[in-house]
Structures are given as C-alpha cells and as structure tokens.
C-alpha cells in the first residue's frame, strides 16, 4: 500500500465513521489475533491482556490463534483485514524487524501501526549450572582452549554468536534446536555448552539448573540484576523484542486512542503484571505509539546490518 | 514419587469438569467403536480440534478415554454383527459371534467388557510404574540416541504395516518428503512453500491426519454402501440365564492376566498395534488351553484373550510417548499433536517440569477405565442398538465433523484445500494398498528425525567414532540395519510381504 492510498483509506474511514464514535467504540466484540499456537508465552500473556482489555472496553475480546512462520501468517492476514480496530494483533515485533530480511513475505512495516508495547522480550544466553563456566566471559575464556557447541533458535542469534566467535577466535559448532522446548534438554544434558533462550530460562533458573550468562536484550532484566548485557560486555549486538498491540494501517484516530488507553490500563492491571512478570519473567511496560513506530524501524535497520555480515 | 503432586492430581481427577470431559470421551469412543468403519484414529483426529477449549489435562484424558472407549466398544459389533468395529477386535468375533448365535449374546458382551476393563486398568498401572523410571533414564538420551531410535521406529513401523516392501518404501518416502516442507529449522529459509505463507510451518498435521485417515475412509465407506449387514445381526432378548457368572469369571481370569501381559508388551514396542496384540494373545490362549478345539466355537476364553490384549495396548503405547516423546502408533502420534496444541512438548522433560499434569493424566486414565465399566455395564442394550444405524446416516455426519474440525484450526479455506488433497491421496493409497500408516508416521517423525540427525552430525563434527561412547545409539543403529536386512531378505526370498497387521 503506498502512502496515497493509505491516506485515502484513512480519510474514507474517518468520513464514514460518525463523530460520536469516540466514546461508544467499541459497539461489538473485538478479535485479538495471536501469531503463535495456544500455550506459548505470547498466548499466555495475550489471553490475560484480552481479559483486562474487555473489562476496560466493555465488549468481549476474543482471542484467535493463527500460528505459522513465527507470526508471518498472522501478519499477512492482518494486513488484509478492514482497518476498523475491531481486529488487532498482540505479539512480538521480530516478524517485522527480522523475518522479512531472510524470507519473502507479503507485508512490510508500513502496512501496520504500532499502538503500544506492554512487555519487553527477554532474549538471553544460557548454560547449564554444571558446566565449568557460568558467565559469558568465562565461556569465551574456555572456548579459547576448547572446541565448543552452541544451540541456536533463530538465524539472528546464530549470526550474532558466529561473529562474536570469529572475533574471539573460538572453534564453535552451531546446532538448531527448533525452539525453547528443544533447547532445554540439550543444555541440561550438557550436549551443548551454551544456548540461546527466548524466555524458556524462566522455567529452569529458579531451580538452579540453568544459568543466564548474558542478556541479548538492550537492557538488563530486573529479574536477573547481576547479569550483564552483550552491549555492556563490549559486543555491539542486541536482539530487541517488544510485545505490542498492532493494527493494520488506516484505523481512525479515535479508535486508536481507545485501544491505546485500554493497553495503558492493562499495563497497570495486577492480573496482567502477575502473569507476565511472575510466570514468564517479562517486565511489563507501557510504550506509546510514537516511540514504538521509531523502535520498530530502528531495530529493523540494525538487524539488517547484522544479517548483512 | 512426589506425593504432593499425586494428591493434587487425584483431587483434579475428581472434579465435575473432568468427569464430564472424560465420561464424554469414553462415551464417544464407545459409540465410535461400535460402528464398524469408524476407527479409533478417525475419531481422535476429528476430536482433537474439539479439545481447544478444554484444559490440557482434560483434553488429553478426553482423547485417551476416547481411545479406550473405542477398544471396548468395538467388541459389541464384533460379537453381535461378526463385523468388528476396529480391526483389533477381529479376534473377538471368532468366539464372540458363535457364542451370541448360541443364544448367549449378553454373556459374550459382558465377558468382552470385563476383559476390556481389567486389561485396561492393569496396563494403565503398569504404564504408571514403568513410564516414570523410564523417563528418568530417557533424560540421559541426547540427539544421537534420539536419531537412532527414531530411525529404528520408522523402519520397524514400515516393516510391520503390511503390503509390499517397495510400496512401503514409497509410502514412507512420500511421508518423509512432505515432512520436509516448511522453513528450514536453522537458516529459516523456506523449503517447498511455493510462496505460501501458510506452508511456512509445514503442512498442518491435523489436515494431513484428518484427510488421510478420516475423510478418505468415508470415501471408501460410501463405495461399500450397498453392504448389507441387517440379516446377520443377532437380536438381543432378555433371558435370565444369559449373563456372566462367577464360574465363567474364574475360568477367564488367568486368560485376562496373560492377555494384559501380551498387550502391554506389544503396545510398548513402536509400530505394533492392538491388532497384533489381540491376535497374539488369542493364539497364546488357544495354545495354553486344555481343549483348544473349543476355540472358534464360542469359547469365553477366546473373547477374554482378545479383548484384554486389545485394551492393554492403548495405555502401553503411551510408554514410549511419555518416556521418549516417540509415538508407538498413529493414535499416539496424534496425541503429540494434541499436546502441541496446548503448548506442551511430550517427552522425558514432561515428567520433570509438569509432574502434576502427568499424574493428573494417569488419574484421568484410571477414571476413564471405571467410567467405561459403568457405561458398558448399564448401557449394553443401548449400545447394541447403535449397530443398527445405517452407514448412509453415519458417513455424512463424519464428513461434516472432518470439515468443521479443520475450520476450527484457523487455517481458513487453505486448510480445507489441503484436507481435501490428502483425503484424495489417502483414498488412492487405500485403494491401491499403499500403507497410509507408514506414510503418516513418516510424515510425523520426519521433522524430529531431521533435527536430531542434524544436531548429531554437527555436534560430532562428522566424527563417527563418537558413537563408540554412545552404546544406546549404537545398539539402535544395529537394530535398524538388522531390521532392514531382514525385511529385504524376506520380501525377496518369498516374494511376499512379511506377515503383519496395520499398526493401529
């Protein structure tokens, strides 16, 4: 969609909608799309968020799972829905900041608007508590003497670790794991030396079996205050992910405002904070549209740079 | 064993919701089992989408209850119609139908029911005591062991599924090929997706399963619509002497114990299904009997042997599933999909990370057996009436559930197109005698096999010597080679496929 048609749709939608819409909206049930199967961290967070939002908006918010291609399927469908705000997506931003770089997809960043982020993704490098190393520096130190193995989950974390390994002169073999569920047994069984974790570590660090060696996110996690980020360690890489409420471009301003205030309400709701921080160890935040639009484009540019190497 | 978790599990198993869920599963299974032509895997593949709205514990117990119900229900049509509701109850018909003809249909049905329930409960208890230590050992298994075991399971299942070796290879090969569709799990590059975003995660398992198993079976059934079974049916009358008595019970009890043992052993091996179990048990009972000539003429022991083994296979097939995450047959493979829908990875870590769930499922399985006894005992006459429902009523209903179940998956019309494609494929495979069981198991195992094989090759850095430190992996590789050689040898020498029955 180019800018002119975008403007035209916005205009048409605004004209068609009666002015009184702001307060009455929504007048019928809403649909929250989740781009992953039921049961994952996005789904768990999304379902609680939906419950909190429906209290605020006074209409039911139905959760629909559209799994496939790390949310690429859900974004493709979302792009083709009517931009009336009744259908919105809740999920991470990697399907926009990363997937299009390596896979041909039918959507782009400009097809959507990023209304509000309510939680920050926690990407980390983990290892087993029974290994002779536990910090990232110790891993590098050990790797200078010994052959090492790393378990990846996305081509992005693989690219980052590969370039750090080259920089530090490590002899590293990298294996795929097919997700957090496949990563855990490899790390705990010490089949691999260290691994990427998108959040699975929340399940295994409290028992003391798994240690977080470093965070790949831009900032330290409040739940592991002593673990540094890669950037702090002197490697200029990060994987940022924001759990965001996303609508197709062209939703009327009043409707967007209603959705944003519902999200803001959720970010202070005890039920949402309990689940998100307590069960998944994702810090709850509220980041408005202006900052999120900027974030998504900044992360995309940075990711393109990493993947170009 | 963690007793807090066991207590909590028992408490959860006794809620009203679980009674309704599991009872519903058993009831549905019983009905499906009674109707010849509607098989267990058809029912499970249609029922998985229905479990979306249940808690994981109830969803899984519902599906297992359904499996158990089909195994018990299939005896009803075997005894009354001489047409087993499941292939695995064919051995039951050998003695059940003659006994019913002799004016004792109710006794035969009661023997079948009691053998089913006892076999089921005992095998479930064995599962509970075997799966837990097994899962502990299995935690030591790395990618090498998993790759070797998966390879072995694939060859074993292919070899036992009947048909010619080459047709088996073709079916398995097609399954492996279609299993590679989707994003590459390391580089994220699309493979064979032809630009369809929907194919990025591969062909949806539910569409492939419902298509090849359920919908295609309805095509086959509609072809056979003219098959008339009304005149074969035995009518049930109320007769005071037509019921199971304590002397009969005492006579068949040792047979039931033996049948359970055989069924559990067969079920725990990947690839061997309840049909193998029930026929093996029947054969052993006949050999052990003092008067073997009475078998086939209405011998109660024949019914007891077949039904106890048939039912014991169902829980036993979960031993490799819960222990290793490897499905022993198609029904167990479909359960992996059901677990995945609820965000749970089946395997040794399930016991460690989610013991409450596993204990709850065990408790639910015991509950399912008891519900099955109650339903079967008091509803015997009602279920017997189901044998009269004509296929032209059954088929359209099943077709509707196939399509509705697919729509619930959220793949839209794309899912329906895939479903239809696989229904046609399944129909052709059944028509030309290619093993769809081999096809489906290969399709389901391929992503796991690929990942583990890839990990093994990368981690070993291409060094074969690493296998010398991995005796379990080495053992299974040897088994795979032996199985392959034997299969090839037998089919070349005799020109005939090795004996076997469908793996479900």
| In-domain check, residue B118 | yes
φ/ψ (deg, to 5) at A72: -60, -35
CATH of domain A3-121+240-308: 3.40.190.150
Domain A124-215 in the same topology as domain A3-121+240-308? yes
Q: Do B200 and A76 touch (CB under 8 A)?
A: no
- Three-class SS of chain A: CCHHHHHHHHHHHHHHCCCCHHHHCCCCCEEEEECCCCCCHHHHHHHHHHHHHHHHHCCCEEEEECCCHHHHHHHHHHHCCCCCCCEEEEECCHHHHCHHHHCCCCCCHHHEEEEEEEEECCCEEEEECCCCCCCHHHHHHHHHHCCEEEEECCHHHHHHHHHHHHHHCCCEEEEECCCHHHHHHHHHCCCCCEEEECCCHHHHCCCCCEEEEEECCCCCCCCCCCCCECCCCCCCCCCCCEEEEEEECCCCHHHHHHHHHHHHHHHCCHHHHHHHHHHCCCCEEEECHHHHHHHHHHHHHHHHHHHHC
Q: How confident is the model at residue A15 (pLDDT cuts 50, 70, 90)?
A: very low
| In-domain check, residue B142 | yes
Half-sphere exposure of B123 (CA within 13 A, CB side): 36
Is residue A9 pLDDT above 70, yes or no? no
Of A39, A102, A177, the CB nearest to B189: A102
pLDDT of residue B425: 96
Please list every residue in chain B whose beta carbon sits closer than 8 Å to the beta carbon of residue A34: none
Among the listed residues B160, B158, B30, the one whose alpha carbon sits nearest the alpha carbon of residue B89:
B30
Radius of gyration of the CA atoms of chain A, in A: 20
- CA of B319 to nearest chain A CA: how many angstroms apart? 19
Least confident of A2-11, A151-160, B215-224: A2-11
Of A43, A65, A175, the CB nearest to B455: A175
Q: Do A68 and B197 touch (CB under 8 A)?
A: yes
Q: How far apart are CA B193 and CA B105, in angstroms?
A: 55
| In-domain check, residue B281 | yes
Give the residue with greater pLDDT, A36 vs B453.
B453
Residue of A nearest to B452 (CA): A177
Q: What residues have CB less than 8 Å from A64, skipping those under 6 apart?
A: A31, A32, A33, A34, B410
| In-domain check, residue B419 | yes
Residue of B nearest to A182 (CA): B345
Please list every residue in chain A whose beta carbon sits closer than 8 Å to the beta carbon of residue B410: 64-67
- CA of A49 to nearest chain B CA: how many angstroms apart? 18
Determine the 3-state secondary structure of B343 from DSSP: coil
- CA of B369 to nearest chain A CA: how many angstroms apart? 29
Q: How far apart are CA B441 and CA B433, in angstroms?
A: 16
pLDDT of residue A3: 47
Please list every residue in chain B whose beta carbon sits closer than 8 Å to the beta carbon of residue A147: 461
Q: Strand A124-128 vs strand A210-215: parallel, antiparallel, or unpaired?
A: antiparallel
Of A38, A67, A102, the CB nearest to B201: A67
pLDDT of residue A188: 87
Q: In the structure encoding, which two tokens stand for residue B222, read together?
A: 């509609």
Determine the 3-state secondary structure of B183 from DSSP: strand
How large is the average pLDDT for residues A9-32? 63
Determine the 3-state secondary structure of B14 from DSSP: coil
pLDDT of residue A13: 47
Half-sphere exposure of B65 (CA within 13 A, CB side): 34
Q: How far apart are CA B169 and CA B412, in angstroms?
A: 33
Give the residue with greater pLDDT, B409 vs A49.
A49
Interface test with B, best of A185, A205, A307 (most B CBs within 10 A): A185
Please list every residue in chain B whose beta carbon sits closer than 8 Å to the beta carbon of residue A38: 52, 341-343
- ipTM of the complex in this document: 0.77
How large is the average pLDDT for residues A202-209? 86
Q: How far apart are CA B220 and CA A11, in angstroms?
A: 56
How many structural domains comprise chain B? Answer: 1
Q: How confident is the model at residue A69 (pLDDT cuts 50, 70, 90)?
A: confident
Q: Do B458 and A175 touch (CB under 8 A)?
A: yes
**Omega prior to B259 cis, within 30 of 0:** no
- CA of A162 to nearest chain B CA: how many angstroms apart? 13
Contact between B31 and B386 under an 8 Å Cβ cutoff? The reply is yes
- CA of A182 to nearest chain B CA: how many angstroms apart? 9
Q: Do A176 and B190 touch (CB under 8 A)?
A: no
Largest CA distance in chain A: 70
| In-domain check, residue B500 | no
| In-domain check, residue B502 | no
Residue of B nearest to A159 (CA): B187
Q: Which of residues 344-373 of B touch A (CB under 8 A)?
A: 344-345, 347-349, 353
Q: Do A39 and B342 touch (CB under 8 A)?
A: yes
Residue of B nearest to A181 (CA): B345
| In-domain check, residue B92 | yes
- Using the Cβ of B143 and the Cβ atoms of chain A, whether some distance falls under 8 Å is answered with yes
- Using the Cβ of B461 and the Cβ atoms of chain A, whether some distance falls under 8 Å is answered with yes
Please list every residue in chain B whose beta carbon sits closer than 8 Å to the beta carbon of residue A192: 459
What are the residue ranges spanned by the domains of chain A? Answer: 3-121+240-308, 124-215
- Using the Cβ of B462 and the Cβ atoms of chain A, whether some distance falls under 8 Å is answered with no
Least confident of A211-215, A274-278, B26-30, B258-262: A274-278
Q: In the structure encoding, which two tokens stand for residue B81, read together?
A: 């119609």
Of B143, B186, B187, the CB nearest to A191: B143
Q: Do A185 and B349 touch (CB under 8 A)?
A: yes
Q: Is B265 exposed, middle or buried (0-12, 13-18, 19+ CB in 10 A)?
A: middle
- Using the Cβ of B201 and the Cβ atoms of chain A, whether some distance falls under 8 Å is answered with yes
| In-domain check, residue B48 | yes
Please list every residue in chain B whose beta carbon sits closer than 8 Å to the beta carbon of residue A176: 185-186, 451, 454-455
Please list every residue in chain B whose beta carbon sits closer than 8 Å to the beta carbon of residue A174: 186, 458
Q: How far apart are CA B230 and CA B314, in angstroms?
A: 31
pLDDT of residue B245: 85
Reported as a single tens digit per residue, the pLDDT across A81-137 is 899 999 999 999 988 998 888 888 889 999 999 999 999 988 999 999 999 999 999
Q: How confident is the model at residue A200 (pLDDT cuts 50, 70, 90)?
A: confident
pLDDT of residue B233: 59
- CA of A149 to nearest chain B CA: how many angstroms apart? 7
Please list every residue in chain A whose beta carbon sits closer than 8 Å to the beta carbon of residue B339: none
Please list every residue in chain A whose beta carbon sits closer than 8 Å to the beta carbon of residue B344: 39
The residue segments making up the domain with residue B391 are 3-494
Q: Could you read off the pLDDT tens digit of each residue along chain B, which spans 504 residues?
A: 556 667 777 777 778 888 898 999 999 999 888 887 677 888 888 888 777 777 888 888 899 999 989 988 888 888 888 877 777 888 898 899 889 888 888 899 999 999 999 999 999 999 988 888 887 777 778 899 989 988 888 887 777 666 677 888 889 999 999 999 988 888 878 889 888 878 887 898 878 888 888 888 888 888 877 555 554 556 667 777 788 888 888 999 999 999 999 999 888 876 667 777 888 899 889 888 888 888 888 899 999 999 999 999 999 988 888 887 777 777 887 888 788 777 677 877 787 777 888 888 899 999 999 999 999 888 888 888 887 777 788 888 888 888 887 877 667 788 899 999 999 999 999 889 888 878 888 888 888 899 999 999 999 998 888 888 899 899 989 989 998 888 788 777 765 544 444 444
Q: Which of residues 261-300 of B touch A (CB under 8 A)?
A: none
Q: Is the pTM of this model over 0.90?
A: no
Reported as a single tens digit per residue, the pLDDT across A226-262 is 999 999 999 999 999 999 999 999 999 999 999 999 9
Q: Is B260 exposed, middle or buried (0-12, 13-18, 19+ CB in 10 A)?
A: buried
Q: Do B343 and A38 touch (CB under 8 A)?
A: yes
Contact between B33 and B72 under an 8 Å Cβ cutoff? The reply is yes
Q: Do A40 and B341 touch (CB under 8 A)?
A: no
Beta bridge partners of A119: A243, A284
Beta bridge partners of A196: A125
Q: How far apart are CA B203 and CA B182, in angstroms?
A: 7
Domain A124-215 belongs in CATH node 1.10.3720.10: no
Q: How far apart are CA A119 and CA A267, in angstroms?
A: 8
pLDDT of residue A45: 86
Q: How confident is the model at residue A292 (pLDDT cuts 50, 70, 90)?
A: very high
Of A103, A177, A186, the CB nearest to B188: A103
């Amino acid at each position: 969609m180019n800018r002119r048609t975008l403007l035209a749709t916005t205009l048409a939608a605004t004209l068609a909608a009666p002015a009184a819409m702001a307060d009455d909206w929504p007048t019928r049930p809403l649909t929250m799309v989740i781009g992953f199967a039921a049961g994952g961290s996005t789904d768990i967070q999304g379902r609680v968020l939906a419950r909190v939002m429906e209290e605020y908006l006074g209409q039911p918010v139905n959760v629909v799972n559209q799994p496939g291609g790390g949310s690429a399927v859900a974004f493709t469908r979302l792009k083709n829905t009517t931009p009336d705000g009744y259908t919105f997506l809740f999920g991470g931003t990697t399907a926009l900041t990363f997937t299009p770089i390596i896979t041909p997809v039918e959507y782009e960043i400009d097809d959507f608007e990023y209304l509000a982020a309510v939680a920050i993704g926690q990407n980390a490098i983990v290892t087993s508590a029974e290994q002779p190393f536990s910090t990232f520096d110790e891993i590098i130190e050990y790797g200078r003497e010994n052959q090492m193995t790393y378990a990846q989950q996305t081509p992005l974390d693989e690219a980052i670790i590969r370039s750090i390994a080259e920089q530090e002169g490590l002899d590293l073999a990298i294996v795929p794991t097919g997700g957090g569920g496949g990563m855990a047994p490899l790390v705990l069984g010490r089949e691999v030396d260290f691994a990427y974790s998108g959040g699975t570590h929340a399940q295994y660090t409290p028992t003391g079996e798994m240690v977080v060696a470093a965070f790949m996110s831009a900032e330290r996690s409040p739940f592991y205050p002593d673990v540094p980020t890669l950037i702090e360690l002197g490697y200029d890489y990060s994987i940022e992910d924001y759990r965001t409420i996303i609508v197709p471009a062209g939703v009327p301003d009043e409707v967007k405002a209603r959705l944003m205030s519902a999200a803001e309400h959720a970010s202070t709701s005890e039920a949402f904070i309990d689940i998100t921080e307590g069960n998944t160890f994702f810090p709850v935040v509220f980041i408005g549209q202006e900052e999120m639009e900027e974030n998504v484009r900044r992360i995309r540019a940075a990711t393109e740079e990493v993947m170009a190497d | 064993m963690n007793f807090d978790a066991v207590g909590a599990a028992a408490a959860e198993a006794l809620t009203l919701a679980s009674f309704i869920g599991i009872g519903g599963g058993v009831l549905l299974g019983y009905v499906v089992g009674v109707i010849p032509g509607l098989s267990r895997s058809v029912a499970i593949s249609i029922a998985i989408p229905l479990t979306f709205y249940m808690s994981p514990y109830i969803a899984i117990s519902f599906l297992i209850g359904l499996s158990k119900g089909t195994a018990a229900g299939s005896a009803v049509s075997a005894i009354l119609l001489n047409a087993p509701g499941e292939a695995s109850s064919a051995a039951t018909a050998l003695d059940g139908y003659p006994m019913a003809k002799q004016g004792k249909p109710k006794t035969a049905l009661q023997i079948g029911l009691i053998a089913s329930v006892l076999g089921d409960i005992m095998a479930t208890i064995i599962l509970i005591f075997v799966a837990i230590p097994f899962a502990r050992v299995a935690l030591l298994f790395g990618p090498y062991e998993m790759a070797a075991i998966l390879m072995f399971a694939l060859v074993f299942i292919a070899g036992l599924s009947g048909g010619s070796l080459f047709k088996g290879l073709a079916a398995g090969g097609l399954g492996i090929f279609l299993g590679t569709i989707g994003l590459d799990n390391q580089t994220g590059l699309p493979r064979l997706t032809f630009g369809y975003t929907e194919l990025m995660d591969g062909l949806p398992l539910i569409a492939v399963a419902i298509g090849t198993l359920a919908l295609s079976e309805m095509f086959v059934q509609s072809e056979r619509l003219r098959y008339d079974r009304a005149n074969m049916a035995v009518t049930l009358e109320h007769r005071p002497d037509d019921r199971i008595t304590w002397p009969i019970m005492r006579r068949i009890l040792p047979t039931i114990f033996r049948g359970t043992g055989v069924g559990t052993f067969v079920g725990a091996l990947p690839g061997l299904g309840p049909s193998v179990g029930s026929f093996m048990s029947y054969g052993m009972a006949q050999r052990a009997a003092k008067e073997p000539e009475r078998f086939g003429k209405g011998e109660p022991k024949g019914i007891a042997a077949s039904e106890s083994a048939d039912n014991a296979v169902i829980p036993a097939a979960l031993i490799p599933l819960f222990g290793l995450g490897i499905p022993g047959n198609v029904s167990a493979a479909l359960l992996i999909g059901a677990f995945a829908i609820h965000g749970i990875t089946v395997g040794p870590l399930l016991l460690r990370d989610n013991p409450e769930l596993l204990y709850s499922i065990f408790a639910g399985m015991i509950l399912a057996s008891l519900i099955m006894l109650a339903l079967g005992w008091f509803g015997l006459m009602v279920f017997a009436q189901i044998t009269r429902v004509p296929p032209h009523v059954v088929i359209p209903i099943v077709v509707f559930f196939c399509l509705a179940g697919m729509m619930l998956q959220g793949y839209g019309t794309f899912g329906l197109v895939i479903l239809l494609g696989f229904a046609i494929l399944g129909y052709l495979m059944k028509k030309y005698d290619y093993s769809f069981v081999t096809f489906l198991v290969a399709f389901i195992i391929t992503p796991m096999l690929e990942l583990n094989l890839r990990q093994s090759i990368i981690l070993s850095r291409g060094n074969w010597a690493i296998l010398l430190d991995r005796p379990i992996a080495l053992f299974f590789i040897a088994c795979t080679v032996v199985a392959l050689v034997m299969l090839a040898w037998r089919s070349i020498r005799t020109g005939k496929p090795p004996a076997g029955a469908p793996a479900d």
